[in-house]
Amino acid sequence: MKKFDIPDFFRSSIISEIKQRRKLDDPRKKDFAPTILDFGPVQFIIARHFGFCYGVENAIDIAYKAIDENPGKKIFLLSEMIHNPLVNDDLRKRGINFIMDNYGNPLLNWNEVDSNDVVIIPAFGTTIETENILREKGIDPVRYNTTCPFVERVWSRAEALGEQNFTVIIHGKAVHEETRATFSHTTEKTKAVVVRDLDEAAYLSKIILDEIHTDEFYKFFSLKYSAGFDVGIDLERLGVVNQTTMLASETLAISELLRETMIKKYGEENIKDHFADTRDTLCYATNDNQSATQALIKENADLALVIGGYNSSNTTHLYEILEKVMPVYFISGSEKIKSQKTISHFNIHNRSEDTTENYLPETFPVKIAVTSGASCPDSVVDDVLKKILSFYGNVKNVEDITGGLK
């Protein structure tokens, strides 16, 4: 696999060592059991897979090369490179300006950008409309395009579905950069509808089966279907793709629900004419991270720390997996751990930062499950571990712990 040039301050001593050992011992990634670091008073149960994925490392590599290769030039990012505050803040400090926010709202006027400037496309990709604006300004949208290859694979699959006259159902958050980009690329070739979750897919299923009047489609899926969509025609042949950071299990559930719906309506003998098997669009990193997080559940931890940007979709889904079975604290970094008694953490349900007291149990040892999102640097995870360890005495030496890993 291609190696990327990642700034040293994103790397780590503890986590990098763990990942390297696991990679050597399990090159085919068959073992999803976590790594246990026993420091004496604290045991960290580290997920098998977490942190920077291929697409994120590719994006960071290209972005920092753009800075190095263009001294003195104005450099812009269409929006956040990835959903991690440390990475985006560092890019801002290096003089990069952001053109839009995460929802496509302008942060500056396009008139401030001209053909002499450099524009970086973030890992989520961008819309056809934005690509056209760049071309009109004489800016090559390909030179510093950091779109994740797995996102581009989804676009290719959607295009192939369009060529076969299938309507594409996109499992994703309609306002998310990646989903907006996928919707834009998909609707160049075919019709599309965005469904947020299994409940929305079930509603769509009832429309297909004539259990809900077709007029309700346009109200329920307002701003989430392509122009000129005709419910009577465009729901006869379906294929499902996803925003690559969604819960893989939910994408599969949505796909299976819609497949069963088409069987009910058209008969199993005709299913190939009405439903396309598209499970190959699921991102390997999303799958691995979610499977590794599922494996954490078996370890009977006292609590879990999920680390990453609060607007990170894939990190949020790791939280959702764990919150069903243990106390979970979603933090962006070690600065959220105020003391041994107090922690500030993100509440995904009301979208606010809460404060919890006595989050660490008075047990020995404290068992803490740890994972992070695909856009979270390993150095941030290192800092979290070290912050927790600083609250305890008689802690084993880090080198002794990592040196004893098998």
Active-site residue list: 178
Q: Are strands 275-276 and 238-242 parallel, antiparallel or unpaired?
A: parallel
- Token couple for 176: 């998310």
- The closest of 56, 54, 106 to 78, measured between CA atoms, is 106
- Token couple for 251: 């994408």
Quote the CA–CA distance of 13 and 24 in Å, as a whole number. Answer: 17
- Token couple for 172: 């994703």
Q: Which residues pair with 369 in a beta bridge?
A: 45, 304
- Report CA-CA distances (Å) from 392 to 32, 226, 307, 345, 388: 29, 57, 21, 21, 8
Left if phi > 0, otherwise alpha if psi is -120 to 50, otherwise beta: which for 284? Answer: alpha
Helices 177-186 and 128-136: angle between axes, nearest 10 degrees = 80
Residue 205 and residue 231 in contact, taking contact as beta carbons nearer than 8 Å: no
Provide the residue type at 95 as one letter: G
Q: Are strands 118-120 and 75-77 parallel, antiparallel or unpaired?
A: parallel
- The closest of 405, 381, 383 to 51, measured between CA atoms, is 381
Provide the residue type at 75 as one letter: I
